[in-house]
Structure 1
């Protein structure tokens, strides 16, 4: 039953639901330009891309590293060793911190996926920080 106290019409309400549908399904903005987003993110908004926001729940180092590697490497980059991956990352103008992490890996190692590479980088980072 309509009481008539709604600020918007039924049609505008449906239009707004349609605009937000991509955001609600994916959990992150779906527009390529922020000004075109129905609800642009504020700087102090919690990072909800990694699931429910709870105390202490953020992306782990492994998840963040894997995401950054996946942004810079393709499936065609694998299988490969650290030297080939370093060249690929440098050609793609990857962040220096990401490229420098490959220097700690054994030169004869081969990686078949981003996941394997991220795990190896995470483990080499732990052993490097414990030895320092």
Structure 2
């Protein structure tokens, strides 16, 4: 049955299915020309899927903590004091390590950004001392 909105004919559609069948079944590229295939990641490439990449010569701890707080809190949690941040983290099922860091925040201060939270914890991002 032909659909009116098809951009390809039935024959072309079947031809494309046949071309992709080897890739789908094998799970790896089946082309003869290697230059078509993407290169695999190198062993020394930074792992960018887990968070920010630290600058050279730094541990990246401040950036990693800021990334985790920002990921869990978002923009809606601010401005907030320590208790409000703890409630927001618990509601969003944050890891225990992040909650214990938030418990170290001063209780008498209101935070407007994630950066203020990280700075209050005594962590300095790259370039700021």
Q: TM-score, normalised by structure 1?
A: 0.54
Task: Name 1:77's counterpart in structure 2.
Answer: 77
TM-score by length of 2: 0.55
Work out whether residues 69 and 114 of structure 2, in 8 Å CA contact, stay in contact via their aligned partners in 1. yes
- The structure that has the greater radius of gyration is 2
Q: Aligned residues, how many?
A: 88
Partners of 1:77 and 1:102 in 2: CA distance: 13
User: In the alignment, which residue of structure 2 is the partner of 1:101?
Assistant: 101
Which is richer in helix? 1
- Supply the distance in 1 between the matched residues of 2:76 and 2:119 (Cα, whole angstroms): 19
Residue-by-residue CA offset, 1:15-67 (whole Å, 9 max, x unaligned): x5xxx6xxxxxxxxxxxxxxxxx85x68x654253278x6x455x21101001
- Is 1:47–2:72 an aligned residue pair? no
Runs (5+) with no aligned partner, structure 1: 1-6, 21-37, 124-132
Alignment correspondent of 2:66: 66
